[in-house]
Chain A
């Protein structure tokens, strides 16, 4: 086998310029794919991270029908205290759950005593909420990083529009389940930077204040957000939690809850899917580049070496060995293109990060591009390139191996 490699490499070096051009083409393809994966992956991960770590959490549990009406924040579709407590108990017993946060969501009127506007509010237990969506604290641009009783975190757009700053008193007025209206005065504890996505422009108050505004005799919960220890185990954890809750709550073929991963709660999942689709097509383009360039070179190589093929066949070289010679040439070109492409690609990603490129995403400004490629991506792309190189050289190699020595020797 070593001798076949030696002959293949020497044959490749024999046509240095052509080999260099083909390997360069593969290299450029690999570099672009790696750079695309690194940049799009960075954007996708940032987007998912922002959405899950700043607002949604990884999984949410609601009473059945709540998500369909979530724009109205219906108070009649809240989880009762007992059910919420049981869900909480189940979640706490799971080792894969990092934190969970019950929320009481409602819409109300926000007043600065001079003017008023609508506001969507989340009543939360601050410590649990900050553990479940840890990026929430980083969104607080002004004020303290907590929510005490009688305090409110308001989104920056609201603060600017209503000319409200930290420490100002405001009033929240809300209609409760009975239809009666109640109000409560709060102090602005912090200003939240808005983020793109559902809940990105909501305000936050303490959950007990929310219950008080809504005059709830017993605390009800609109949703429970769950944060997992390992995001990569989202689907299995989701399946297991769903099964556990079904076992607990299903009665007479009716399951009163609905459970969603972040994917089912935000349209940005479709953007993530689009990025995956684009990555897939970029990979297909790479495969096409490798396939066509290697096949072209190998067809040329076979055509140019017909007499040599005739000679080695006449000497007694078996067809399988002739096939191997050409396949190994394609393999070597694939390996060289992939390895150089990997090195240049990783270097390019490193250089991209040195430039600290920033970009905007919806309401968020100046997000830093943190391009990175996973070793598995590098490995998969390299293996794909090498396999495609071998496949591309099979047809010319097969043709060479099937050549009649007598005709090959006559070739001029």
Chain B
């Protein structure tokens, strides 16, 4: 069964009296434990699509089902709860909380969103710290670690709640190539280990090659789909 079903979804933005279509009739399905990338030039609708999948926004038209829920029908509080339970986020600018240590940043969703008991929390956070290779940096604050390390912490934070889906909008945009590949390797490793679906957007052609399924967006429309090893139209 598909984890994610987009059925003719569209998203319009109103700027003054002008309606700008950011997405037009986009349809696709993504299976669990996939490693998917949406690519396209700036303004193609990648971020808009990821925002819709992440329940940060609602589609203007069509129907979007994530983990069995029609996300277009969720209210503000339900969306927050749904995100907390099912979706992990990795941001381009890492977005770690500066007042929390590496350990506390990873622990945050378990503490403030899911209310996981302390022994379980410690177990999960420690396991992820080991998995992303940040165990020795656990007591450092974000301003004491490098960009690549921050993104590894962000990956751990996204995975700590055992989400069905992790969304990453341009996760490597602020990293050098070597670090970017390391982060993508890590994401893939985590996918293999936790069977979590990863969806990321990028416009970096070198990074795109790391994805197993690639969706191409242009002017808000899905222009094609490429599965590693062959190409087929979307």
Contacts and interface: CB of A to CB of B under 8 A. Distances in A.
Interface residues of A, number: 22
Contacts, number: 67
Contacts of A234: none
A319 interface: yes
A94 B130 CA distance: 81
Given A7-B99, A10-B99, A14-B98, A315 B56 contact: no
Contacts of A312: 97, 108, 112
B100 A7 contact: yes
A3 B111 contact: yes
A185 interface: no
Contact of B97 (A311, A313, A321, A404): A311
Interface in B79-119: 80-85, 87, 89, 91, 93, 95, 97-100, 108-109, 111-114
B76 interface: yes
A315 B100 contact: no
A406 interface: yes
A310 B111 CA distance: 18
Interface string B107-139: 011011110000000000000000000000000
Contacts of B114: 316
A389 to B, nearest CB: 20
B76 A319 contact: yes
Interface in B144-181: 157, 161
Contacts of B56: 314, 404-406, 409
A3 B112 contact: yes
Given A7-B99, A311-B91, A405-B56, A316 B80 contact: yes
Contact of A316 (B57, B99, B109): B109
A406 B98 CA distance: 20
A405 B87 CA distance: 14
Nearest to B84: A316
Contact of B84 (A7, A10, A307, A315): A315
A11 B99 contact: yes
Interface of A: 3, 7, 10-11, 14, 307-308, 310-319, 321, 404-406, 409
Given A314-B56, A406-B51, 6 more contacts: A3-B112, A7-B99, A315-B84, A315-B157, A316-B113, A316-B114
7 contacts: A14-B98, A308-B95, A311-B91, A317-B84, A406-B56, A406-B57, A409-B95
